[in-house]
């Protein structure tokens, strides 16, 4: 098999991050390419303040005596899911750069790996440590509409060296085109959408405390107002449903890892969310879902979901102050037609990218 190195954000306890990482590694297997994911904190500038903040965070998470039993179980479930991804934990040494020359392909993505607000766009994120001709961006994201001037020169220099570039948003495409003059930049869907239901089922796992009755899955990264809670509770009562708040630390479902998250998405009566990846899995598993705009005005995230719903012709899935009965059913026939085209688009991109 050929060998690829994946550089991505590594949010160890973030569902979307781990799921997209797994999706990229699995998609590469379709091409007989094995992969290692390298933690994004490797090979950073050791004097970088963001780097030092990351070190402090990881040390605290590893050695904190205040970690609750619930957190320990949740972290364990994430680690179990990570066993499905080949992760290289041995690259925390800044000086062993030569070992990276063993790879056939160097792949950046997906996620906001080029978001300068996250401390990214360093040498590691731009693959400056290798002179390989097979540097590929796979559905990467800048997470911003415009790149600050201080990042432009360096970013332009190294993006010009990439054999193939695909990004996740049109704004990312424009940034790359403006910086490099390239006309071959492709916009792809999030990698989680490239795997079939059957492929996701392989890593799905039924939670230990799975409910015996129907349930509404709440997955909210932002705050939820009393009015919205009241409306969801009303629907739950009318349909004899339990409510699962998966990100509520007081919920027994908070311990769920990515595998359990997939299972909960697949079997939900209704999914209420402000999350991009929760919306993605609702579409993949043909589940009714309702998207609530972030009440904390997170424009970047709202824009991402706007793009998703518009592309798949599901703008009617937005919450408008009331949950109508029609939202408790779904017909994604047209969405799946779009999805097949997007999957083919991704295959065409990678076919070309890995060709000699």
Domain CATH for 303: 3.40.50
CB 37 within 8 A of CB 8: yes
CB 241 within 8 A of CB 260: no
Same domain as 110, residue 50? yes
pLDDT of residue 44: 44
pLDDT of residue 30: 95
pTM over 0.95? The answer is: no
∠22-26-32 over CA atoms, to 5°?
150
Residues spanned by the domain of 298: 198-337
CB 229 within 8 A of CB 283: no
Same domain as 284, residue 167? no
Q: Please, which pLDDT band fits residue 49 given cuts at 50, 70 and 90?
A: low
Cα Rg of the chain (Å, integer): 21
Q: Give strand ranges (E) for the chain.
A: 2-7, 33-38, 87-88, 105-108, 135-140, 164-167, 186-187, 215-219, 242-245, 270-273, 289-291
Closest CA to 41 of 91, 111, 100, 110: 91
Same domain as 202, residue 151? no
Same domain as 255, residue 273? yes
pLDDT of residue 144: 85
Listed in sequence order, the residues at least 6 apart from 301 whose beta carbon sits closer than 8 Å to its beta carbon are 221, 274, 276, 294
Same domain as 167, residue 26? yes
pLDDT of residue 132: 84
Instruction: Give per-residue pLDDT as tens, 92-135.
Output: 444 345 555 678 999 998 888 898 887 788 888 898 888 889 99
Q: Is the pLDDT of residue 236 over 90?
A: yes
Residue with more model confidence, 308 or 39: 308
Closest CA to 102 of 196, 2, 230, 214: 2
Stated length of the chain: 356
Q: Please, which pLDDT band fits residue 91 given cuts at 50, 70 and 90?
A: very low
Instruction: Give per-residue pLDDT as tens, 269-295.
Output: 999 999 999 999 999 999 999 999 887
Q: Please, which pLDDT band fits residue 265 given cuts at 50, 70 and 90?
A: very high
- Angle of helix 15-29 relative to helix 258-267, nearest 10 degrees, comes to 90
């Amino acid at each position: 098999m050929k060998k690829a190195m994946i550089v991505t954000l590594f949010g160890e306890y973030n569902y979307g991050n781990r799921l997209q990482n797994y999706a990229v590694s699995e998609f590469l297997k379709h091409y007989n390419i094995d992969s290692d994911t390298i933690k994004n904190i490797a090979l950073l500038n050791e004097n970088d303040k963001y780097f030092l903040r990351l070190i402090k965070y990881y040390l605290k998470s590893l050695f904190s005596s205040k970690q609750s039993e619930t957190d320990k179980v949740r972290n364990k479930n994430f680690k179990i899911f990570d066993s499905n991804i080949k992760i290289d934990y041995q690259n925390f040494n800044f000086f062993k750069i030569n070992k990276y020359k063993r790879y056939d392909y160097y792949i950046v993505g997906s996620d906001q790996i080029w978001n300068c607000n996250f401390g990214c766009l360093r040498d590691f994120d731009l693959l400056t440590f290798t002179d390989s001709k097979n540097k590929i961006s796979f559905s990467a994201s800048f997470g911003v509409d415009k790149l600050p001037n201080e990042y432009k020169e360096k970013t332009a220099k190294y993006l010009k060296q990439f054999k193939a570039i695909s990004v996740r948003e049109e704004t990312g495409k424009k940034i790359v085109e403006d910086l490099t003059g390239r006309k071959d930049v492709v916009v792809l869907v999030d990698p989680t959408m490239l795997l079939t239901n059957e492929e996701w089922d392989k890593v799905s796992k039924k939670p230990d405390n799975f409910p015996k009755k129907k349930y509404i899955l709440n997955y909210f990264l932002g705050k939820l107002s009393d009015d919205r809670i009241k409306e969801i509770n009303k629907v739950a009562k009318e349909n004899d449903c339990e409510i699962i708040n998966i990100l509520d630390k007081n919920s027994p479902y908070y311990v769920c890892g990515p595998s359990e998250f997939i299972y909960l998405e697949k079997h939900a009566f209704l999914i209420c969310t402000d999350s991009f990846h929760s919306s993605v899995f609702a579409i993949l598993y043909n589940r009714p879902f309702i998207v609530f705009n972030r009440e904390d005005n997170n424009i970047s995230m709202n824009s991402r979901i706007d793009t998703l719903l518009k592309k798949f012709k599901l703008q009617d899935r937005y919450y408008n102050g009331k949950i109508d009965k029609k939202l408790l059913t779904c017909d994604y026939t047209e969405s799946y037609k779009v999805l097949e085209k997007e999957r083919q688009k991704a295959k065409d991109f990678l076919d070309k990218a890995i060709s000699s």
